[in-house]
Amino acid sequence: MRGMEPGTISVRVWRGREDGGFAEYSVPRRASQTVLDVVTFIQRKLDPTLAYRYACRVGMCGSCAMTVNGRPRWTCRTHVAKLGAGPLTLEPLANLPRIKDLAADLAPFFDKWAQALGRFVPPAESKAEFAEVPPDSKARQAADAGIECIGCAVCYAACDTAAWNPDYLGPAALNRAWTLMNDVRDAAGPARLAAIAEAGGCSACHSHQSCREHCPKNLNPTASIAGLKRMVAKAALAGDIE
């Protein structure tokens, strides 16, 4: 490992696919530098073949997440100074196939959103009246609590159930399903509830809260999933689902 000269950061970066390895780089330390700045420096000045993803740089798009020193983070809003003086180790997000270098394949993550019916379904016939959504109703508050998800997959990478059970829908998809189950305008409630009552659905969650611990938007998928478990339990008791 390269020495820690003052003013530089030693960075170990995963290169290649599953069978790749670490490459080491030395990057000048700067004020207010983010992990994404470090990666961009490497790509622009040291090795243009480095693959990684980002778009907004301001914590809105959810595309820049990586494994930083063993834990998943949004890199555009993670300041290097906050991580201590040691070397940085950067890898793609866990629990997803690796494509190249720091880019993980998010297809399984988003496929599971679709499987959890994580999209708004309008009623078949448009209603003459607008739906009334009282902002302080219980359902709307529950939906609001989970609505700011940016789809970064940090929670999915932090979730050990997602690592252990390939069928598990994961915290983000279930959190999205929960917001929709609390949306009075949505028409797919029963179908969605049936989808998330399946084997890899909400009941597979162990409530160990790693998703909540690491979500950069401070969302609480564990609470959303607990809400879904109650909904499923109620529906099962009422005989609406098996």
Q: CA-to-CA distance for 203 and 179, rounded, in angstroms?
A: 17
Q: How far is CA 131 from CA 35, 120, 143, 183, in A?
A: 44, 14, 15, 10
E strand map for 75-185 = 88-91, 98-100, 103-104
Rule CB under 8 A: choose which of 11, 38, 104, 196 binds another protein: 104
Q: CA-to-CA distance for 242 and 62, rounded, in angstroms?
A: 36
Interacting partner of 157 out of ligand SF4, ligand FES, another protein, none (Cβ under 5 to 8 A depending on kind): another protein
Smallest distance from another protein to CB 209, Å: 4
Rule CB under 6 A: choose which of 57, 100, 185, 206 binds ligand FES: 57
Rule CB under 6 A: choose which of 206, 223, 235, 241 binds ligand SF4: 206
According to the binding rule CB under 6 A, does residue 211 interact with ligand SF4? yes
Structure tokens at 231: 């909904």
Rule CB under 6 A: choose which of 155, 177, 193, 195 binds ligand SF4: 155
Q: To 10 degrees, the CA torsion angle through 53, 56, 58, 61? A: -80
Per the DSSP assignment, residues forming a β-bridge with 91 are 67
Q: How far is CA 139 from CA 79, 135, 144, 194, 224, in A?
A: 36, 9, 9, 19, 12
According to the binding rule CB under 6 A, does residue 217 interact with ligand SF4? yes
Q: In the 8-state DSSP scheme, what is residue 92? A: P
Interacting partner of 151 out of ligand FES, ligand SF4, another protein, none (Cβ under 5 to 8 A depending on kind): ligand SF4
Q: CA-to-CA distance for 107 and 102, rounded, in angstroms?
A: 15
Interacting partner of 140 out of ligand SF4, ligand FES, another protein, none (Cβ under 5 to 8 A depending on kind): none
**Backbone phi and psi for residue 31, each to the nearest 5 degrees, phi listed first:** -70, 145
User: What is the footprint of another protein within residues 16-45 (CB under 8 A)?
Assistant: 18, 22
Q: Is 152 left (phi over 0), alpha (psi -120 to 50) or beta?
A: alpha
Q: Is 6 left (phi over 0), alpha (psi -120 to 50) or beta?
A: beta
According to the binding rule CB under 6 A, does residue 64 interact with ligand SF4? no
User: What is the footprint of ligand FES within residues 70-89 (CB under 6 A)?
Assistant: 74, 76
CA angle 62, 68, 70 (to 5 degrees): 120
Interacting partner of 2 out of ligand FES, ligand SF4, another protein, none (Cβ under 5 to 8 A depending on kind): none
Rank residues 200 and 227 by Cβ distance to another protein and give the closer one: 227
Q: Which residues bind ligand SF4 (CB under 6 A)?
A: 62, 149-155, 158-159, 161, 171-172, 175, 205-211, 215, 217, 219, 221-222, 225
Q: Which residues bind another protein (CB under 8 A)?
A: 18, 22, 67, 69-72, 89, 91-92, 94-98, 104, 157-158, 160, 163, 166, 206-210, 212-214, 220, 222-223, 226-227, 229-230, 233
Q: Which residues bind ligand FES (CB under 6 A)?
A: 54-57, 59-64, 74, 76
